[in-house]
Structure 1
């Protein structure tokens, strides 16, 4: 049995499993493998005159998607829907050249902090691109892959959405990955597939919660029924208010209150979160020590 097969058949994801796989792959590299440099070819399809903006959009989308997948390869428990510079630095794509409608990307030389297999077989960038390809259609009729994207975790949906957005704006793409080891991987996404996924990924759902905050009523717009509440921390909340609370708000303007809020946030399927919308449900004036003394003196 080959060392490569031994590595592929090691189950689990503990550090011991990773170490065993790395050891088997190190033996494979030393005794069995013919080394080759990994390469990612990205072709623009469906357009004969792709301009610089097209290649820029597609290149950035692939880089961001690779960085996001790389993030969960390094830290499987942490979702990310906004690419961070640190993630791009850890999983970069290096442009090697361009010919016609095809861009060629290479991968960085592995260093101890980046290599997933420490003999330099596979960098985080290459692993991330491999996993990204797993979620993309094999061809223009692979409808099952489109449905499967919607069932993936937030980070994967968001990474695929980056590519979908670039393709929707421009033209279809074809990807061919020649990995350090193993067979070549070919994937593609047509403009029609991107439009279908774009609509599905941008479907939204509402998350509703409730919050109690303390602050000062800073103002109200009676006709538009909008309130302004300055938190004790200094930030300001604005939102809608029910008509039956308008008089009570006016009575407590510029005074400290405790407010009960309904908070609605819209989230799209690809993980993009909208700004929270607040609705004022109830306010309770906060009584100061000075007010309590006045009330006691009045009672006496």
Structure 2
């Protein structure tokens, strides 16, 4: 289910133009990370996908639908959106009820609801918290409840807004595994993130935004060497790439295995 932004502009009632003429196509099944400093327009842009925002100019397409002709309830069957703040999303008295809400409203029967809830809680490591009130959990756990609630809807498109914020190492690893699992299922995953390491390790495409415009677009290897675009967006490359630069390497490793390979090459060249 392809996504397409066609010359999209969006201005808030205050007059601030947060998105400035963006055209962007996201093929079915792609893993796309959108990065940039706060205020770059990242969240404003992706909230057009589920109808929270409507373009001031231009069009947004989700598959064969244009969002201007659909309600949020319609779009939620195609786009699952995990909010940055889980407290904006969670409302039920138990984790199980929160996760079951989406499938229930999609018309799933009780058996199908139970299957989706069970599998989503297992994938997010929350099975033992199924009957706990969400607000009795930590921020990290609540964020995973919000992710589970979206996973249970089994939408072809999943949007993750700052999924690693507040997560410990185990939580980050779990979010990475969820991202990979969604990709294996052929679903499109879009993440807004400030975590460049998570971005480089889990996404095949990176879009850099600043002041409502796209500054760079390509693979992590292509984007994170565009110094001027990164500086304009106040984005730093992943830490391994920065370390390699400090060490004077001519390679640009983005992942641990790349760095280890580069270190081996350096040692061999000096032996």
Q: TM-score, normalised by structure 2?
A: 0.23
User: Higher strand fraction: Structure 1 or Structure 2?
Assistant: 1
Q: TM-score, normalised by structure 1?
A: 0.21
